[in-house]
Amino acid sequence: MNSAVHEQNNEIIALMRDFVDYVKDFYEHLSDYPVIRSADAKVLERVSRQTIPDAERPLCEVYQELLQDVYSNTLLAQHPRSFSCIPSTASLLSWMGDVMTNAFNPHDSCWINAPAIALIEQKLIRWMCDLAGYPEEGGGLFVSGASMANLTALTAARDARLHWDERNIAVIYVSEQTHASVSKGLHIIGFDRSQIRVIPADADFRMDMECLAQAVAEDLRIGKRPFAVVASVGTTNTGSIDPLTEIAALCRRYDMWMHIDGAFGASALLSEQQRKNLAGIAYSDSLSWDAHKWMMQTYGCGMVLVRNQATLVHSFAAHPEYLRDSESGGTGIEFWDLGPELTRPARCLKLWLTLQVMGAKKMGEVIDHACNLAQLVEWEIDKLPDWEIVSHAQLGIVNFRYAPAGTDESERNAWNRRISKEITAGGFAQVFTTELHDKTVLRMCTINPQTTESDILNTIRNFVILAGSI
Ligand SMILES: Cc1ncc(COP(=O)(O)O)c(C=O)c1O
């Protein structure tokens, strides 16, 4: 090896040893950090002054710069008091899997490139298909996240249910609580907004079955082709689960594809307590599931599962001449035949490592812990005279608001926005608002396994103090 490269490699390894200690310290004291560490004006000024240099720079200097100015100024989505959006639950085990995988950089596109990795991916996909209740023909693959999983599954739905000349009259049904990535995906695969029917949600934020049945009947009457329904297991706003078995029955009756966006909620299949609420997943045609949401993985770890893997092959298989020598065997189907990507990182390995070390039972307990904490929030808010629960604790999400009697709606909305801004700006906890049936509410997603009961109680205490200062 060239001696300059050898010398640089030594320096890289020394810095990485230092980095490992830095990471250990960071995770051990995570709870003491403010939940958002925003870059101040000086840092942004330093970063914006930088250019791509012509000449070399010392590695150590670039390393320190990145550590101080870039990595240190982010929202800490994995902080135990980060309750906004779907917070990260990433564990050091997943990080270790990431580091190991990235060091070897396997090209996880086909069997011949990395047969043991391919086996592991297939095993994980099979295990998840079993949890979902899919038959032998089921399958799927790892993708970057639920947005890609939704896009991939909806492509399969379109190709399985529609003839080319039916695409213009096709309609698909989502609920008012369906995640925006679904309509984005539909747009990408060629559907117009007017082809998406948004079905109202009931008082529990579940797709209203009567409205859905009426919409399908009306579309048939006017000559449209209803071809798919997108149900959610764990809506982003409230954690609600759509009426899966009823939706499945309607889909069967009208030959519609049933897709489930289980981005965060599908992980509840691992919980003994929650699994019964998700039983209808078994009737669906496809399922999106993110391990980077509730299975303690770093970002970029999602899965798309289908009831029949042949539907993915039908939509995505390609056999260009430059890949012929890599089409080896194994099952005869390569990962590039199952989705839009060719080059893929081995996303499955960090999840494999995590599950091997933790075991699936403990992962189920992570789900239960989150649901119990959301229930605790609900009980505590219920005790406060001027506060109301707007959406009950479901799959680790609960929505509530400060709403003293005799005040008007616009005042309440403004106060809850202010409480959210102030608690987040103070750095103690991150809690964002959302809107439910025209009310601005505070939303807490309590899925981080490091979150304790005292994190919850102290956050609620802070709400009360902030509301008292209004
Ligand atoms: C229900 C639901 N679907 C899809 C997504 C998009 O997932 P991703 O960000 O992994 O693409 C999210 C993200 O929060 C979600 O909550």
Per-residue pLDDT of 434-443, as tens digits, reads 999 999 999 9
For ligand 1, say whether the CB of 242 is within 6 Å of any of its atoms. Answer: no
Residue 39 sits in the same domain as residue 163: no
Does a structural domain hold residue 84? Answer: no
Q: Which of 175, 286, 290 to mutate to test the pocket of ligand 1 (most atoms within 8 A of CB)?
A: 290
Check which CATH number belongs to the domain holding 231 and give it: 3.40.640.10
pLDDT exceeds cutoff 70 at 41: yes
Residue 350 sits in the same domain as residue 394: no
How confident is the prediction for the chain on average, in pLDDT? 96
* pLDDT (0 to 100) of residue 329: 58
Residue 386 CB-half CA count within 13 A = 16
pLDDT exceeds cutoff 70 at 331: no
pLDDT exceeds cutoff 60 at 468: yes
Torsion of CA 353, 360, 125, 271, to 10 degrees: -140
Pairing of strands 302-306, 139-143: antiparallel
* pLDDT (0 to 100) of residue 67: 95
Residue 335 sits in the same domain as residue 373: no
**3-state secondary structure (DSSP) of residue 454:** helix
**3-state secondary structure (DSSP) of residue 88:** coil
Boundary residue ending a domain (358, 386, 418)? 358
Per-residue pLDDT of 355-374, as tens digits, reads 999 999 999 999 999 999 99
Q: How confident is the model at residue 324 (pLDDT cuts 50, 70, 90)?
A: confident
Check which CATH number belongs to the domain holding 378 and give it: 3.90.1150.170
pLDDT exceeds cutoff 90 at 332: no
For ligand 1, say whether the CB of 145 is within 6 Å of any of its atoms. Answer: yes
Does a structural domain hold residue 448? Answer: yes
Residue 10 sits in the same domain as residue 123: no
Residue 156 sits in the same domain as residue 293: yes
Q: Please state, as a whole number, how many other Cβ atoms lie within 10 Å of the Cβ of residue 434.
A: 19
Boundary residue ending a domain (313, 339, 358)? 358
Per-residue pLDDT of 182-223, as tens digits, reads 999 999 999 999 999 999 999 999 999 999 999 999 999 999
For ligand 1, say whether the CB of 302 is within 6 Å of any of its atoms. Answer: yes
**3-state secondary structure (DSSP) of residue 112:** coil
Does a structural domain hold residue 374? Answer: yes
Residue 114 sits in the same domain as residue 172: yes
Ligand 1 nearest atom to the CA of residue 235, by list position = 1
* pLDDT (0 to 100) of residue 325: 85
Q: How confident is the model at residue 37 (pLDDT cuts 50, 70, 90)?
A: confident
Q: Please state, as a whole number, how many other Cβ atoms lie within 10 Å of the Cβ of residue 66.
A: 11
Does a structural domain hold residue 101? Answer: no
Q: Are 74 and 37 in contact (CB under 8 A)?
A: yes
For ligand 1, say whether the CB of 393 is within 6 Å of any of its atoms. Answer: no
Q: Which of 143, 177, 264 to mutate to test the pocket of ligand 1 (most atoms within 8 A of CB)?
A: 264
Region 83-91: mean pLDDT is 96
Token code pair at residue 159:
């190709």
Give the neighbor-by-neighbor strand order of the sheet with 196-199: 139-143, 302-306, 286-290, 257-261, 225-232, 170-175, 196-199
Ligand 1 center from residue 297 Cα (angstroms): 14
Region 23-37: mean pLDDT is 94
Give the neighbor-by-neighbor strand order of the sheet with 432-436: 387-394, 397-402, 439-445, 432-436
Distance CA 197, CA 192 (A): 11
Distance CA 447, CA 369 (A): 8
Compute CA 96 distance to the chain's CA centroid, rounded to the nearest angstrom.
Answer: 20
Residue 309 sits in the same domain as residue 453: no
* pLDDT (0 to 100) of residue 328: 72
Share of the chain above pLDDT 90, in %: 95
Does a structural domain hold residue 247? Answer: yes
Torsion of CA 233, 235, 241, 244, to 10 degrees: -60
Ligand 1 nearest atom to the CA of residue 236, by list position = 16
Share of the chain above pLDDT 70, in %: 99
DSSP 201-253: B-TTSSB-HHHHHHHHHHHHHTT-EEEEEEEEBS-TTT--B--HHHHHHHHHH
Ligand 1 center from residue 130 Cα (angstroms): 22
Does a structural domain hold residue 199? Answer: yes
Supply the range of the domain harboring residue 10: 3-78
Ligand 1: which residue has its CA nearest to atom 14?
86
Average the pLDDT over each of 25-39, 254-268, 447-461 and give the range with the smallest value.
25-39
Ligand 1: which residue has its CA nearest to atom 5?
146
Residue 274 sits in the same domain as residue 336: yes
Ligand 1: which residue has its CA nearest to atom 4?
146
Residue 156 sits in the same domain as residue 172: yes
Which residue(s) pair with 36 in the sheet? 75
Domain count, the chain: 3
Does a structural domain hold residue 127? Answer: yes
Region 223-244: mean pLDDT is 98
Residue 302 sits in the same domain as residue 441: no
Q: Please state, as a whole number, how many other Cβ atoms lie within 10 Å of the Cβ of residue 42.
A: 9
Per-residue pLDDT of 109-154, as tens digits, reads 999 999 999 999 999 999 999 999 999 999 999 999 999 999 999 9
Residue 302 sits in the same domain as residue 427: no
For ligand 1, say whether the CB of 263 is within 6 Å of any of its atoms. Answer: yes
Higher-confidence residue of 328 and 192: namely: 192
Ligand 1 center from residue 428 Cα (angstroms): 25
CA-based nearest residue to 89, from 102, 78, 80, 99: 78
* pLDDT (0 to 100) of residue 39: 83
Boundary residue ending a domain (323, 358, 393)? 358
For ligand 1, say whether the CB of 147 is within 6 Å of any of its atoms. Answer: yes
For ligand 1, say whether the CB of 278 is within 6 Å of any of its atoms. Answer: no
pLDDT exceeds cutoff 60 at 330: no
Kindly give, in sequence order, each residue whose CB lies less than 8 Å from that of residue 240, ignoring residues fewer than 6 positions away.
177, 201, 204, 205, 206, 232, 234, 391, 394
Does a structural domain hold residue 391? Answer: yes
For ligand 1, say whether the CB of 364 is within 6 Å of any of its atoms. Answer: no
pLDDT exceeds cutoff 90 at 327: no
Residue 164 sits in the same domain as residue 238: yes
